Every structure is written in structure tokens, then in C-alpha cells.
Amino acid sequence: MIIFMGVAGSGKSVQGRLLADKYGYPWISSGAFLRMLVSGDKRQQMLKGKLLDDSEIISLIQKIFSIVDIKNEFVFDGFPRTSKQVKWLLEEVKASNLYITAVIHLVIDKQVVKDRLLERGRQDDNDAAIEERFKEYEVTTMPIIDIFQKDGGVPVFEIDGDQTVEAVHSDIIRVLKG
């Protein structure tokens, strides 16, 4: 599994699809699944930029993994987002249920992200929700990078997401080829 991480709007989905298409890998977006599967009050909270509870997310991810051939390489974006989620994922790796090839961390300027998100025009792409995502990302998601590297021994590659789509893709291919 190649995991794409970055704040919403950093290009995870675009780059994940490009990589998946280049090598014929399945591409899984946890955000797309969540928007498809979550309803009611939880969906309203999600639209305001709030993250769902760890146990709910892990349960949904287990459902996703039950329908994907996880024994072969695939591209995954949008998960994990908290230390509890990454620890669960690393336990699955330790139990030989999953294998993580690499984490691609797309690093991008906040204003570039905000402009991208407002341009795409989804209901959950408004100033308040975007600010909430930035805060959540800094507090809960950024520490995951350290956990992957220190506890999991997973290679993490930081990629400059401010470049053109083509340049970012080229950098990703280069680091994965080693």
C-alpha cells in the first residue's frame, strides 16, 4: 500500500489516481468512501470539517479493506488521520495483514490549498470548514508522520505540492523508484 497524506486540497486524490493509473494499481480515497457511506448528523459534522470518531473510521476502513485485494499494491489516500488510526494500521502491518510500501506526504502552502478548495466548490469547501481542516491537520495528522517513521519504520517521502501536477507526479515516481 502506498499512502498519500496531506491537508485537504494538497493534491492527494489527483496524485493518487495518476500513480494508480501509471502502474495499474487500485486507487482508494477514504474521503470519497466516507462521503458515500456517512449520513445524518455525522455527515453534517463532516461537512463542517470535523473528523469522525476513530472507531467509526477504522470500522469503515475495515469494510473498504474487505472488498479490496490488499495482498497486492494499491494506492490509498486520506487515512490515517490520527495517532490512534496509524497505530491500528501499524498493528495490522505487524500482524502481516497489510504491507506499507511508502507514505507520500504532499507539503503545500496554505493559501494555495485554500484557493484550490474554494475553486472545486464542494459543500464542505467553505472558509470555516477549511480553517477547521487546517487546525485538525496540524494537531492530529502531522504527528502521524513521526509515528510512521519511528514506530513503523515506514519510508516517508515529503513532496513539494506547490509544483505543477506533472512535476509533483515526477517527484513521486522518482522517490518510489529509489
Of all residues in the chain, what percent carry a pLDDT higher than 70?
97
Q: For position 43, what pLDDT does the model report? A: 77
Mean pLDDT of the chain: 90
Q: For 26-79, what is each residue's pLDDT tens digit?
A: 999 988 888 787 878 877 777 666 667 899 899 989 988 998 889 999 999 989
Q: Full-prediction pTM beyond 0.75?
A: yes
Q: Does the pLDDT value for residue 3 go beyond 90?
A: yes
Q: For position 49, what pLDDT does the model report? A: 61
Q: How confident is the model at residue 154 (pLDDT cuts 50, 70, 90)?
A: very high
Q: For position 120, what pLDDT does the model report? A: 86
Helices (H), the chain: 12-23, 30-37, 40-47, 54-67, 83-94, 110-120, 127-136, 142-150, 165-177
Q: For position 72, what pLDDT does the model report? A: 94
Q: For position 33, what pLDDT does the model report? A: 83
- Topology of the domain comprising 2-177: Rossmann fold (3.40.50)
d(CA 91, CA 125): 33
Q: For position 12, what pLDDT does the model report? A: 93
Q: For 77-120, what is each residue's pLDDT tens digit?
A: 989 988 999 999 999 999 999 999 999 999 999 999 999 899 98
Taking the domains of the chain in order of start, what are their residue ranges? 2-177
Q: For position 141, what pLDDT does the model report? A: 81
d(CA 164, CA 135): 26
